[in-house]
């Protein structure tokens, strides 16, 4: 089984696909939440997929079908399993995405496929099976918060779940569980997502740089991935707090951790030149969160400094935007940081960067944040 199937979070399917593209490159999209990779699941694959924030499940790919005839689907899945299911106990699990597939009951699929596969070498064990056959009945998703323009057909997808992979959980490192806490702290899933979006296929970043480190939420996630940490903040309280939090999170003495009080305008002098770096940050926005010229100036300073430190790096960040940006229409010139997006993008380009990704994330009713990933223009 040389293909891998990834099931993404329903929270933000477009960013799930962007994340997998950043980590692995080319992929085949079967459904907004299901992608297929031409890669077998091995140690290198595990190292990469562990960096994902939005993968909900990992399967050895079996097959997929757009057929809605129940008996044909049962036969197709059963025939594949008879050829590929190893000896040992099994259970058939099913998932329904969105509206599912018309005339297909996932519970009936479980029962019928299980009955066809049951044998002396493959007994059924619903509580502690050696292998789990997963069938995903994937249909139209309605009422999603984050608009997805991807066109697709309902389908049925199946495979064998990878036993050694577990979905990311963030128990023990939520903002309020850290020794130093402020309400501005970024929750760990979003922090990890910003880091994964800063990856490039075939390249694992070594240096993590954040010039607005705050309480260190993003830096903690980078530290847990084995990166060397170079973070700064102009607020001495935050500098003290992030040192406390990084010391609390660090269980590897080999990691380089440097924390300094510094203006973003001086970080190139502070850190010097580096290679294989990513710049991931949540910039301060000033008193009026999404209409701050000061906030824009700080963001643009970060772009300038990043290019001096590592001209081949990647920037991943979030900028405040109005709730209307959640419509995610690529042709609309949304307001970001109090200005038209076209103006912001022009400023980014003038500082030597191109926008590789722009995607809104809901914060609350009246505020969104625009996730921005920038690559060097050269």
CATH number at 44 reads 3.30.2130.30
Sequence length of the chain is 378
Least confident of 39-48, 103-112, 299-308, 361-370: 361-370
Q: Are residues 204 and 351 in the same domain?
A: yes
Residue 1: predicted pLDDT: 60
Assess whether pLDDT exceeds 50 at residue 176: yes
Summarize the confidence of residues 2-15 as an average pLDDT.
93
Do 145 and 202 lie in a common domain?
no
User: Are 5 and 60 in contact, with CB atoms under 8 Å apart?
Assistant: yes
**Domain endpoint, select from 126, 161, 196:** 161
Q: Are residues 219 and 367 in the same domain?
A: yes
Does 265 share its domain with 372?
A: yes
Question: How many angstroms separate the CA atoms of 315 and 307, rounded?
Answer: 10
In DSSP terms, 58 is beta-bridged to: 6
Q: Which residues pair with 340 in a beta bridge?
A: 335
Residues 247 and 366 in one domain: yes
The least confident of 160-174, 206-220, 287-301 is 287-301
Q: Are residues 77 and 192 in the same domain?
A: no
- pLDDT above 80 (res 144): no
Which pLDDT does position 286 carry in this prediction? 53
Last residue of a domain, one of 95, 126, 161: 161
- pLDDT tens, position by position, 79-116: 999 999 999 999 999 999 988 888 889 999 999 999 99
Instruction: Answer whether residue 166 is part of any domain.
Output: no
| CA–CA separation, 198 and 280 (whole Å) | 7
Q: Which of 100, 135, 161 is the last residue of a domain?
A: 161
304 pLDDT tier (thresholds 50, 70, 90): very high
**Whether 188 and 336 share a structural domain:** yes
In a domain, 371, yes or no: yes
Answer yes or no: is pLDDT of 143 > 70: no
Q: Are residues 16 and 140 in the same domain?
A: yes
Which CATH number covers residue 354? 3.40.50.150
The mean pLDDT of 50-56, rounded to a whole number, is 95
Q: What is the pTM of this model?
A: 0.94
Q: Residue 122 domain-assigned?
A: yes
- pLDDT the model gives residue 287: 43
Instruction: Enter the tokens of residue 307.
Output: 């290019």
Rounded Cα distance, 232 and 211, in Å? 5
Are 95 and 214 found together in one domain?
A: no
67 and 145 both lie in a single domain? yes
pLDDT digits (tens, 9 = 90+) for 60-75: 999 999 888 899 999 9
Report the number of distinct structural domains present in the chain. 2
What is residue 209's three-state secondary structure?
A: strand
Instruction: Examine residue 168 and state whether it is found in any structural domain, yes or no.
Output: no
Residue 288: its pLDDT value, please?
45
Crossing angle for the helix pair 293-309 and 341-350, nearest 10 degrees? 30
User: Distance between CA atoms of 93 and 378, rounded to whole angstroms?
Assistant: 48
Q: Average pLDDT in the 304-328 region?
A: 94
What single DSSP character describes residue 174?
Answer: S
Q: What's the CA angle centered on 18, arms 280 and 225, to 5 degrees?
A: 45
Q: Give the pLDDT score at 367.
A: 80
271 occurs within a structural domain: yes
Residue 290 has pLDDT above 50, yes or no: no
Q: Are residues 195 and 306 in the same domain?
A: yes
Print the domain residue range for 117: 4-161
**54 in a structural domain:** yes
Residue 169 falls inside a structural domain: no
């Amino acid at each position: 089984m040389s293909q891998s199937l990834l099931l993404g979070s329903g929270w933000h399917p477009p960013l799930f696909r962007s994340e997998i593209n950043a980590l692995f490159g080319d992929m085949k999209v079967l459904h907004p939440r299901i992608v297929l990779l031409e890669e077998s699941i091995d140690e290198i694959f595990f190292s990469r997929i562990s960096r994902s924030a939005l993968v909900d499940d990992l399967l050895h790919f079996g097959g997929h079908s757009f057929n809605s005839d129940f008996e044909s689907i049962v036969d197709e899945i059963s025939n594949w399993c008879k050829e590929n299911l190893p000896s040992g106990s099994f259970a058939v699990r099913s998932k329904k995405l969105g509206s599912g597939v018309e005339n297909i009951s996932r519970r009936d699929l479980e029962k019928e496929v299980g009955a066809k596969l049951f044998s002396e070498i493959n007994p059924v064990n619903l509580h502690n099976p050696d292998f789990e056959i997963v069938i995903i009945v994937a249909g139209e998703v309605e009422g999603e918060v984050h608009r997805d323009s991807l066109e697709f057909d309902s389908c049925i997808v199946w495979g064998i779940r990878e036993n050694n992979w577990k979905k990311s959980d963030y128990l023990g490192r939520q903002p309020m569980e850290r020794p130093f806490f402020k309400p501005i702290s970024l929750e760990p899933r979003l922090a990890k997502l910003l880091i994964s979006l800063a990856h490039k296929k075939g390249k694992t970043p070594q240096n993590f740089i954040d010039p607005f480190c705050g309480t260190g939420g993003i830096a903690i996630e980078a530290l847990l991935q084995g990166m060397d940490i170079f973070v700064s903040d102009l607020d001495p309280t935050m500098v003290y707090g992030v040192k406390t939090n990084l010391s609390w999170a660090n269980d590897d003495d080999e990691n380089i951790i440097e924390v300094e009080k510094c203006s973003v305008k001086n970080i190139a002098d502070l850190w010097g030149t580096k290679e294989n770096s990513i710049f991931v940050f949540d910039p301060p926005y000033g008193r009026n969160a999404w209409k701050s010229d000061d906030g824009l100036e700080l963001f643009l300073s970060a772009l300038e400094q990043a290019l001096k430190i590592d001209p081949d790096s990647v920037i991943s960040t979030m900028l405040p935007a109005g709730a209307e940006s959640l419509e995610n229409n690529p042709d609309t010139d949304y307001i970001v940081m109090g200005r038209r997006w076209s103006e912001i993008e022009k400023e980014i380009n003038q500082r030597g960067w191109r926008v590789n990704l722009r995607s809104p994330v809901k914060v609350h009713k009246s505020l969104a944040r625009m996730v921005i990933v920038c690559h060097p223009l050269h």
